[in-house]
Amino acid sequence: MNADYLKKLKQDHFKITPKRRAILDLFDREDKCLTPETIWEHLKKTFKQSGLPGIYRNLELFVKQGILIRIDREGRKRYYALCHDHSGHHHHHIVCVECGRVDDFPVCHFPDIKSTKGYKILSHSMQINGICKSCQ
């Protein structure tokens, strides 16, 4: 599981520190999106020293590495979730509005439009919101 993420980091010469492992492990265990603060609460159980800034920095690193994605939810907080499909295939995510569970959404139905209304299209982001099985 986790090994894939670590490999990604290694490839780009980032160090595998205990905190980084712990953050990724946590995401592996919880199937849902987490806020920096939630992650911090967990890490504090294991590490007597642990700071929020370090978590912010690592989360953003993981996003850049394609290991995590950002999730939009109500409120002003940031949420992050594991991107399970690291095959590089284009896909989207579905988020449970109740518990924050996140799954890869298998198919992208967005057509291969390259331009429209004069725009050159660069990217699109889609998030599907729903209620997962166990929350229904």
Q: Does 15 bind DNA (CB under 7 A)?
A: yes
Q: Does 110 bind DNA (CB under 7 A)?
A: no
Q: Does 36 bind DNA (CB under 7 A)?
A: yes
The letter for the amino acid at 27 is: F
Question: Shortest CA distance to 62 belongs to which of 127, 1, 12, 123?
Answer: 12
φ, ψ of residue 115 in degrees (nearest 5): -155, 150
Total residues contacting its own copies by CB under 8 A comes to: 30
Question: Shortest CA distance to 55 belongs to which of 35, 72, 70, 84?
Answer: 35
Say if residues 81 and 29 touch (Cβ distance below 8 Å).
no
Cα distance between residue 47 and residue 55, in whole Å = 13
Quote the least distance from Cβ 36 to its own copies, whole Å. Answer: 14
Tell me, residue by residue from 63 to 102, as one string, x for binding to its own copies by CB under 8 A and - for no binding.
Answer: ---------x---------------------x-xx-----
- What are 17's strand-pairing partners? none
CB-nearer residue toward DNA: 47 or 110: 47
Quote the least distance from Cβ 36 to DNA, whole Å. Answer: 5
Q: In a 10 Å sphere around its CB, with 0-12 CB exposed, 13-18 middle and 19+ buried, how is residue 63 labelled?
A: middle
CB-nearer residue toward its own copies: 1 or 128: 128
Binding partner selected for residue 36 from its own copies, DNA, none, CB under the kind-specific 5 to 8 Å limit = DNA
Residues lying near its own copies in the complex (CB under 8 A) = 72, 94, 96-97, 103, 105-106, 109-111, 115-133, 136
